[in-house]
Amino acid sequence: MISAGEFRNGVTFEMDGQVMQVVEFQHVKPGKGAAFVRTKMKNVITGAVVETSFNPTARFENAYVDRKDMEYSYNDGNLYYFMDPETYDMVPIDEGMLPDGFKFVKENMVCKIMSYKGSIFGIEPPNFVELEVTETDPGFKGDTATNVTKPAIVETGAEVKVPLFINPGDRIKIDTRTGEYLERAKG
């Protein structure tokens, strides 16, 4: 059991049969009246975010969310298969559960699979990936204007904005959370 007074960012708990994760919290002690905890929390299954105030003594059941590294193997139609590295079991996950950043994941990359009581509810791709640029307009020598970008297609088929000096065949580093180009890959 956890009380609202013990809330910290990232804590997961059960409330009304739902699994909630604390996004932000603030302990408030007004001049008059009782103290309370203002909480912004996210339903980890649906992704809905709500703000609520709790009495600091309100108690909730802890919810233990499993986060397991699994390797993306392949997709078949709208099912994406992930392999458990310990048991070699293949776990199918529906396309609708994949986050936007998954478009930068290629086969054999390791992702975090999140589940609660055996039910998978989310996938976290790696934060940063290195991919090869397959299509883009060629860069021009001497074109060094700052913050000018052009579209490029990477090996997974996703489109990303890159600086003008990037050419097809270059390897680039991408932040999957924002979909932004970070730098040219080393080596």
In CATH, the number for domain 66-124 is: 2.40.50.140
The domains of the chain are located at: 2-62, 66-124, 129-184
Cβ(116)–Cβ(65) under 8 Å?
yes
Per-residue pLDDT at 137 exceeds 70: yes
The answer to whether domain 2-62 and domain 129-184 are alike in fold is: no
Q: Per-residue pLDDT tens for 153-163?
A: 999 999 999 98
Q: Is the pTM of this model over 0.75?
A: no
103 by DSSP, 3-state: which?
A: helix
Per-residue pLDDT at 110 exceeds 90: yes
Cβ(44)–Cβ(122) under 8 Å?
yes
User: Rounded to an integer, what is the distance from CA 25 to the centroid of its chain?
Assistant: 21
User: Among 108-112, 142-146, 167-171, whose mean pLDDT is lowest?
Assistant: 142-146
Cβ(22)–Cβ(2) under 8 Å?
no
Cβ(129)–Cβ(174) under 8 Å?
yes
The dihedral over CA atoms of 126, 128, 131, 135, expressed in degrees to the nearest 10, equals 110
Pick the CATH number of 129-184 from 3.20.20.70, 3.30.70.20, 3.90.190.20, 2.40.50.140: 2.40.50.140
Fold of the CATH domain 2-62? SH3 type barrels. (2.30.30)
Q: Per-residue pLDDT tens for 40-99?
A: 998 887 778 999 999 999 999 988 888 899 999 998 889 999 999 999 999 998 888 888
Q: Could you give the percent of the chain with pLDDT greater than 90?
A: 38
User: Rounded to an integer, what is the distance from CA 115 to the centroid of its chain?
Assistant: 14
| Residue located via tokens 């956890």 | 2
Structure-token pair, residue 67: 């986060």
